[in-house]
Structure 1
Amino acid sequence: MINKLKRPVVYIPLALLLFSGVFAFQLKNDKLFALAKNIDIFATLVRELDSYYVDEIDPDQLVTIGINAMLEELDPYTEYIPEEESDDFRMLTTGEYAGIGALIGNRGEGNMVLMPYTGFPAQAAGLKIADYILKIDSVDVVGKPTSEVSDLLKGPANTPLKVKVLRNKDTLDFSLVRKKISLKNVPFYGKLDEKTGYIKLADFTSNASAEVRNALVSLKSQGADRLILDLRDNPGGLVNEAVEIVNLFIPKGKDVVKTIGKLQSVNYNYRTTKTPVDKDIPIVVLINERSASAAEIVAGALQDYDRAVLVGRKSFGKGLVQTTIPLTYNAQVKVTTAKYYIPSGRCIQAIDYAQTRENGEVTSVPDSLRKAFKTANGRRVLDGAGIEPDESVEEVNYAPISYTLVAGNHIFDFATQYFYKHESITDPLTFTITDQDYEEFKKFLSGKEYDYTTYVEKSVQDLEKYAEKEEYFDEIKSQLEAIKAKVNHSKEQDLDTNKEEVKKILSEEIVSRYYFQEGMVEAGLDQDPAVEVAKSYLSNPAKIAETLTATIK
């Protein structure tokens, strides 16, 4: 009886396993057949188009468009990288390329140097911001797309080239030698006062952690005993660099981030492996809506360990990991292979791309489905929508006239003119143009186009548009016209009303002519609301302690 009773217990699961195995095998075969069938259809389609289409087609271009359209259905981060774009992709992930070390762009009248990076051939040779590029070696580049000009400037390291530019009506020739360019992840670091160190981390390419370490050690040697780590506008990058940066402040053996995907090979637990540089220095981390990926790992891990106060605005919410997979003919595909989870256990991915594909609309994780987790000190934090700061700081909203002056290149052009007239200026943090300089700027704008619509004008326009649909429009038409006449803006008046704001923007642009990227970052810190909040925390240890131990409601 006992054996008879036992036999079904043994044989029924075996039968189920056998059935499920056959079923899984059949499903796999069906999927493989569907893949093979559709790949064959696609190849046949391209071949027949090439034969029969009325005009000549470019098969490479057509297939690339098809691949990109297919990948766009998945998420914005899964990308096809053909062989000819592999150098650009390598530059994005490593920050390295061979060239002259300058940002090139078009300001409407031609391609010019927008920023020569400190210590590289362009800056060493004497190229300046606003130099119009006329010729590269024997190639006339006037009117050519920026991408072509950039490609001509790049090339194998240690190869010579000549560049002809137009500078303030003078034509100048420069002889340069291309060098291996490694873009800085830390464009600026320094002391904001006797005790407060500041590090701007702009990227997470190779060597990011070493640059942050060097900056931290240097600041400590200068007497800094508190730190602002600025991750605003940082798009992220290499996960291992993020882990190493967290390790500068967190003890050895701590979890930093886990990656979990469909395949076991992509599942990994990243932990700190070294002794930290400083596990006690008070830290404030600055984040905003453009802080993403690796930047969110650093900010989130430091928040989860209650190691730093986060100030700014909610981060982007990219909790997805990409892996680069080689394809045939030296092509590659960057594929989303996993989600990452920071020490509290939360994933901060904000967009549900599976639901987005299903619904056809971008689908965020609803607040009702966001799960609560705990930091090391028991503070409540949520998943599903980026990293939320401990104290929010609203984004600075500039006046319409400021946007218009920048977009119209009037700020840029006046800064260039100022540079030609002034041999030097004071240091970036204290420099500001005088009231006399501002009057010169107003004269400079005379006759230039910079019209715009104020917020009030837009509101009145909207009111008039909706009022036209009402029966009583004729009765209030005269009143609306009176309001429009009263709020009709005066550009000259707006220049005076927003004088301090425009002066600050002008001053920062002028600083870049003398101190390049580093100076522009430093100049932007003056009167920066988030920096001021960070400094208020760092000058008040009790406030930091309270923030890092209080329960977040």
Structure 2
Amino acid sequence: MLKNRKILVLFLVVLLGSGTLFSFVTKNDKLFAIAKNLDIFASLVRELDSYYVDDIDPEELVTIGINAMLEELDPYTEYIPEENSDDFRMMTTGEYGGVGALIGNRTGTNMILMPYKGFPAQEAGLRIGDELLKVDSIDVRKYETAEISKLLKGPANTNLKVKVKRGEDTLAVELTRKKIVISNVPYYGMIDEQTGYIKLTDFTTNAAADVRKALIDLKSQGAQKLVLDVRDNPGGILKEAVEVVNLFIPKGREVVSTKGKLQSVNAVYKTEKAPVDKDIPLVVLINERSASASEIVAGALQDYDRAVLVGRKTFGKGLVQSTVPLSYNSQVKLTTAKYYIPSGRLIQAIDYSNKDEEGQGRSIPDSLRNEFKTKGGRIVLDGAGIEPDQSVDSRTYAPITFSLVARGLIFDFANKFSRQNEEIPGPRKFKVSDELYEEFVEWLQDKEYDYTTRVEKTIADLEKYAEKEKYFEEIQDEIAQLKKSVGHNKEQDLITFKDEIKDALKDEIITRYYYQEGVVEASLDRDEEIKKSLTVLGDQNQFAMILKPGKKK
């Protein structure tokens, strides 16, 4: 018996040793494969530099190779070379040295699209629509927008000159750069006498502090209900999301957990402070462009039955990125974990480890989505973002409105209007009168803004397929009649879609006087999601039954 036991122990030792050896060999095989392929890559670049018929830029080729490699993983893993580190830092912190203006290219012209209130560009008098001609002595008319942006940025307290064209006038403006910190809350205010509203656009540094300040101020103004708007918010710093949730739920509650391959990235994030208000009735607005940290906030508040979500299903980004330093001050931002909200849900909507024939990640099918429960027992699903408790369809615009916006005609008319009018009433009071609308229609007379309606596009497709399948001669008369019947009339469309065109004009004009926050404020009275929120918040029984079905408050 003892002999048999010794043989068994010896066998187990050999077996375990073999396993360790196998693991060691496997790991070293992988390391050898990495070293081998890196050597091949370096050799290839050297030989290309030596023998290729034309001169090459090795740095550019290597960057292209790195980016192509990372594209095989997921859209969030990216290489950040040293020269882009400032831009990356600005995206994550919301801070940079510059003049405080969003610039862009409209119809081939570089211009100011939005000066931020209280920063050098706005204080120096630069306006939306000002065409950029020179930065210091550099003619920038043919520069790319990104190149101009780099010229405008620089250390705080340094000076520069900008030459712009405004209408028929050319202006030279002197500016002093300063540290720019973009607020995560561009607007907050009272929708009505009882309901506060906070627009949260990012989760950069101080996002939670910005929301906290807005919430306390709104409560001092009499807010007894609240709408938190994270529509179009792409996310940002995880810690800020946790602290935003903490404003509404008690200390010690789990908000999100992260799980990855390495133990070091596994963590549970809990609320650490007393909330500002754990009882105020709360609606969170979400849509298809609410992602990452926005989904953590919305999902956690839904899981604790703390808020009613209104809008549309969110983007579905449940992947966590970490930044790892590389040689020569470069970095890589790579996916290191997945995050899970309190119910246990993973909200990631795309599986990048299971790609289709075209190399695209696959959506998680409904049959593989799992059920979870909120604190109060409501059923929620994983695998496709955060779904609202109350859905509101997205607004669609007529082709004529889209054409007028896309061709910059509403933008240009707003510039003309602002040059002729020193001031307008406040954002919620200003209206586009019928007289002003007629002036706009008259101004359009010599402008090109033709478009194709959806019905016209459908008939064109029918005509194309009929010709391809040899049926055209048999139905050409019917197609001709259809074309005649549905052919759009621009003059009539300007009447039919007058209200939505007036809304677009109103928003564009308001930006000239009240900037980004003015447009948000102006939308409060006609925003369908906000209207739905007020309906939900206005009926305490409905609000309670959404969060706890079957129970009345």
Could you tell me how far apart the structure 1 residues matched to 2:37 and 2:401 are?
53
Once the two structures are superposed, the pairs formed by residues 194-273 of structure 1 within 5 Å of their partners are: 194-273=193-272
Using a 3 Å threshold, how does the CA distance of structure 1 residues 151 and 470 change in structure 2: closer, same or farther? Answer: closer
Could you tell me how far apart the structure 2 residues matched to 1:134 and 1:314 are?
43
Could you tell me how far apart the structure 2 residues matched to 1:133 and 1:211 are?
33
* Contact 1:74–1:357 under 8 Å retained in 2: no
- Deviation sequence 1:55-112 (CA, Å, 0-9, x none): 1001110100000000000000000000000000000100111000000111125211
Structure 2 partner of 1:323: 322
Give secondary structure in 2 for the equivalent of 1:352: strand
Using a 3 Å threshold, how does the CA distance of structure 1 residues 12 and 314 change in structure 2: closer, same or farther? Answer: farther
User: Are 2:120 and 1:128 equivalent residues in the alignment?
Assistant: no
Using a 3 Å threshold, how does the CA distance of structure 1 residues 10 and 310 change in structure 2: closer, same or farther? Answer: farther
Using a 3 Å threshold, how does the CA distance of structure 1 residues 472 and 57 change in structure 2: closer, same or farther? Answer: closer
Q: By how many angstroms is 1:168 displaced?
A: 2.1
Structure 1 partner of 2:448: 449
Q: By how many angstroms is 1:5 displaced?
A: 6.3
Q: What TM-score does the superposition give when structure 2 sets the normalisation length? A: 0.97
Gaps of 5+ in 1: none
- Deviation sequence 1:326-347 (CA, Å, 0-9, x none): 0010000001000000000010
Structure 2 partner of 1:96: 95
Aligned AA (2:95): E
- Deviation sequence 1:384-429 (CA, Å, 0-9, x none): 1100111111110100111100000001001111111122111112
* Contact 2:312–2:392 under 8 Å retained in 1: yes
* Contact 2:136–2:161 under 8 Å retained in 1: yes
Structure 2 partner of 1:431: 430
Structure 2 partner of 1:81: 80
Once the two structures are superposed, the pairs formed by residues 118-517 of structure 1 within 5 Å of their partners are: 118-356=117-355, 360-470=359-469, 472-517=471-516
Give secondary structure in 2 for the equivalent of 1:285: strand
* Contact 1:404–1:451 under 8 Å retained in 2: yes
Q: By how many angstroms is 1:190 displaced?
A: 0.6
* Contact 1:164–1:174 under 8 Å retained in 2: yes
Could you tell me how far apart the structure 2 residues matched to 1:140 and 1:95 are?
28
Q: By how many angstroms is 1:360 displaced?
A: 2.7
Q: By how many angstroms is 1:524 displaced?
A: 2.5
Structure 2 partner of 1:40: 39
Could you tell me how far apart the structure 2 residues matched to 1:364 and 1:480 are?
39
Give secondary structure in 2 for the equivalent of 1:363: strand
* Contact 1:135–1:163 under 8 Å retained in 2: yes
* Contact 1:203–1:236 under 8 Å retained in 2: yes
Using a 3 Å threshold, how does the CA distance of structure 1 residues 424 and 34 change in structure 2: closer, same or farther? Answer: same
Residues 150-159 or 355-364, more deviating: 355-364
Aligned AA (2:297): V
Could you tell me how far apart the structure 2 residues matched to 1:359 and 1:506 are?
42
Using a 3 Å threshold, how does the CA distance of structure 1 residues 361 and 144 change in structure 2: closer, same or farther? Answer: closer
Could you tell me how far apart the structure 1 residues matched to 2:436 and 2:12 are?
86
Could you tell me how far apart the structure 1 residues matched to 2:362 and 2:302 are?
26
Q: By how many angstroms is 1:8 displaced?
A: 6.1
Could you tell me how far apart the structure 1 residues matched to 2:524 and 2:57 are?
50
Structure 1 vs Structure 2: percent identity of aligned residues?
A: 65
Structure 1 partner of 2:529: 530
Structure 2 partner of 1:71: 70
Q: By how many angstroms is 1:357 displaced?
A: 7.2
- Deviation sequence 1:434-482 (CA, Å, 0-9, x none): 0011101111111111111111111211222233345553232112101
Using a 3 Å threshold, how does the CA distance of structure 1 residues 36 and 470 change in structure 2: closer, same or farther? Answer: closer
Give secondary structure in 2 for the equivalent of 1:256: strand
Residues 141-150 or 532-541, more deviating: 141-150
Q: By how many angstroms is 1:149 displaced?
A: 1.4
Q: By how many angstroms is 1:365 displaced?
A: 1.0
Could you tell me how far apart the structure 1 residues matched to 2:536 and 2:9 are?
66
Give secondary structure in 2 for the equivalent of 1:381: strand
Could you tell me how far apart the structure 2 residues matched to 1:212 and 1:12 are?
64
Structure 1 partner of 2:539: 540
* Contact 2:107–2:407 under 8 Å retained in 1: no
- Deviation sequence 1:364-394 (CA, Å, 0-9, x none): 1111111111100010011111001111111
Aligned AA (1:342): I
Once the two structures are superposed, the pairs formed by residues 53-72 of structure 1 within 5 Å of their partners are: 53-72=52-71
Using a 3 Å threshold, how does the CA distance of structure 1 residues 446 and 370 change in structure 2: closer, same or farther? Answer: same
Using a 3 Å threshold, how does the CA distance of structure 1 residues 483 and 425 change in structure 2: closer, same or farther? Answer: same
Using a 3 Å threshold, how does the CA distance of structure 1 residues 146 and 361 change in structure 2: closer, same or farther? Answer: closer
* Contact 2:256–2:342 under 8 Å retained in 1: yes
Aligned AA (2:162): V
Could you tell me how far apart the structure 2 residues matched to 1:345 and 1:244 are?
19
Could you tell me how far apart the structure 2 residues matched to 1:422 and 1:485 are?
43
* Contact 1:73–1:357 under 8 Å retained in 2: no
Could you tell me how far apart the structure 2 residues matched to 1:299 and 1:13 are?
52
Using a 3 Å threshold, how does the CA distance of structure 1 residues 314 and 273 change in structure 2: closer, same or farther? Answer: same
Could you tell me how far apart the structure 2 residues matched to 1:259 and 1:358 are?
30
Could you tell me how far apart the structure 1 residues matched to 2:477 and 2:330 are?
66
* Contact 2:312–2:391 under 8 Å retained in 1: yes
Paired positions, count: 551
Give secondary structure in 1 for the equivalent of 2:363: coil
Using a 3 Å threshold, how does the CA distance of structure 1 residues 367 and 173 change in structure 2: closer, same or farther? Answer: same
Give secondary structure in 2 for the equivalent of 1:84: helix
Residues 213-222 or 160-169, more deviating: 160-169
Could you tell me how far apart the structure 1 residues matched to 2:7 and 2:278 are?
61
Could you tell me how far apart the structure 1 residues matched to 2:343 and 2:6 are?
47
Could you tell me how far apart the structure 1 residues matched to 2:398 and 2:529 are?
19
Q: By how many angstroms is 1:14 displaced?
A: 3.4
Q: What TM-score does the superposition give when structure 1 sets the normalisation length? A: 0.97
Q: By how many angstroms is 1:359 displaced?
A: 7.3
Calculate the aligned-residue CA RMSD, in Å: 1.5
Could you tell me how far apart the structure 2 residues matched to 1:11 and 1:357 are?
49
Q: By how many angstroms is 1:358 displaced?
A: 8.1
* Contact 1:185–1:201 under 8 Å retained in 2: yes
Aligned AA (1:29): N
Could you tell me how far apart the structure 2 residues matched to 1:175 and 1:186 are?
29
Residues 120-129 or 272-281, more deviating: 120-129
Gaps of 5+ in 2: none
Residues 56-65 or 124-133, more deviating: 124-133
Residues 93-102 or 419-428, more deviating: 419-428
